[in-house]
Structure 1
Amino acid sequence: MEQDTKSLIIDIATSLFQLKGYMGVGLTEIIKTCNISKGSFYHHFPNGKEELLIACLQSISDAITGDIKDFFERYPTAEEATKKMIEKLVDNFEREGTIAAYTFTSIVSEMGALSESVRNTCSALYIRMQEIYSAKLEADGFSKEAAASTALMMTATIEGGIILCLTQKVSDPLKIMSHELPKLLKKI
């Protein structure tokens, strides 16, 4: 039961953080929404809200990288996998009106106010994403250096496209990316 309560807190807090940002959600709101006591919260997260944030980011990271690995294992080339992955993001956005589950920028937009441990957790996700992209690009014949720099560009482009969709409330940025980004991944 204990792990269930902790998982519940992480799931609910993740949704709240995605909706309102880290600074926009108070501990009282988390405790009330989870229907737990303050003591129960601190039992699971003795270092407080920031420890919870790191747990939420790690949970999101596992989900995002799991989906990315699935696409990049399922399709034969980075070009095809990227196109299909972005198309899924577009479908999610058009169906749900959001794609918050695929980004954590909305949670940590106040990055300057956050600790080094939170920054490191975010950095680790981006590195994991880039490693998946880079490995597939190398398998497609890119040199190690070209694969690494292209993977960085892919990560920045996709994350930026998601943010543009969320702020503009349209899927057009990702739709354009689903056509243009894969073109850059063709091995010449």
Structure 2
Amino acid sequence: MDTKTRIIEIATKLFQQKGYIGVGLSEILKACNISKGSLYHHFPNGKEELLIACLESLNDVITQDIENIFNQYPTTKEAINAMIDQLIVHFETEGTIAGYTFSSIVSEMASLSEPVRHACSLLYAKMQSIYTNKLVEDGFSTEAAESLALTMVATVEGGMMLCLTQKSSFPLKTISLVVPNLLQEFQN
């Protein structure tokens, strides 16, 4: 793995665990075992540029996972349940789902930095697009699919944050029971 990729990987974990403000540059340098010059060589604009690279990396990983799951199942109901089940298993075995959510970074930085807000917005838009496309395949109108997709993104993201704060998978388990009913209601 090259140095830049390693920096992004390590910094992503640190940002997810401690937030942008909670992670100092010296902590990133120490965890990556690099000099300040090496960091600025790869990220000339510093910590914020590194955060954006981390968000872009998360975008790739998270959306690829979602697309893989959604491509395996014939309906949105089956796909969303499989995705939520995967999140639950990850939470119950690892004790966290930090690798799948970046909400803490959004709440901390999106109002302070337009480039960070934009990077976060792109990830949410990509997630919503995956859900919308699957819902349209299921026969929902584009308008209904877009509304449902927005609701699904907000619900799953909120469920992950509740799992982390409650130290319980109960919120996602509840969501996995409710979302299919929501889909059914929209189809009627």
TM range (shorter): over 0.9
Choose between structure 1 and 2 for higher RCO, CA contacts under 8 A separated by at least 6 residues: 1
Deviations 1:139-161 (A, max 9, x none): 10000000000000000000000
TM-score (norm 2): 0.96
Runs of 4+ in 1 over 4 A off after TM superposition: none
Q: State the secondary structure of the residue aligned to 1:133.
A: helix
Match of 1:35 in 2: 33
Q: State the secondary structure of the residue aligned to 1:36.
A: coil
* Distance in 2 of aligned mates of 1:112 and 1:160: 17
Deviations 1:121-143 (A, max 9, x none): 00000000000000000010000
Match of 1:178 in 2: 176
Query: What code does the residue aligned with 2:74 have?
Result: P
Query: What code does the residue aligned with 1:88 have?
Result: Q
* Distance in 2 of aligned mates of 1:112 and 1:136: 28
Tell whether 2:167 aligns with 1:169: yes
Q: State the secondary structure of the residue aligned to 1:76.
A: coil
Match of 1:103 in 2: 101
Among 8, 12, 15, the alignment partner of 2:13 is 15
Q: State the secondary structure of the residue aligned to 1:107.
A: helix
1:33 is displaced (CA, Å) by 1.1
The percentage of counterpart residues that share the same residue type is: 65
Q: State the secondary structure of the residue aligned to 1:114.
A: coil
Match of 2:132 in 1: 134
Among 64, 67, 79, the alignment partner of 2:65 is 67
**CA-atom RMSD, angstroms?**
1.1
* Distance in 1 of aligned mates of 2:182 and 2:97: 24
Among 55, 78, 83, the alignment partner of 1:80 is 78
Tell me, yes or no, if the aligned pair for 2:111 and 2:117 is still in contact at 8 Å.
Answer: no
How many residue pairs get aligned? The number is 186
Tell me, yes or no, if the aligned pair for 1:161 and 1:174 is still in contact at 8 Å.
Answer: yes
Tell me, yes or no, if the aligned pair for 1:72 and 1:78 is still in contact at 8 Å.
Answer: yes
* Distance in 2 of aligned mates of 1:106 and 1:170: 18
Tell me, yes or no, if the aligned pair for 2:136 and 2:145 is still in contact at 8 Å.
Answer: yes
* Distance in 1 of aligned mates of 2:100 and 2:145: 22
Q: 5+ unaligned residues in a row in structure 2: which ranges?
A: none
Among 56, 59, 74, the alignment partner of 1:58 is 56
Say which structure is richer in helix: 2
1:185 is displaced (CA, Å) by 1.8
Query: What code does the residue aligned with 2:89 have?
Result: D
Q: 5+ unaligned residues in a row in structure 1: which ranges?
A: none
Q: State the secondary structure of the residue aligned to 1:110.
A: helix
Query: What code does the residue aligned with 1:100 have?
Result: A
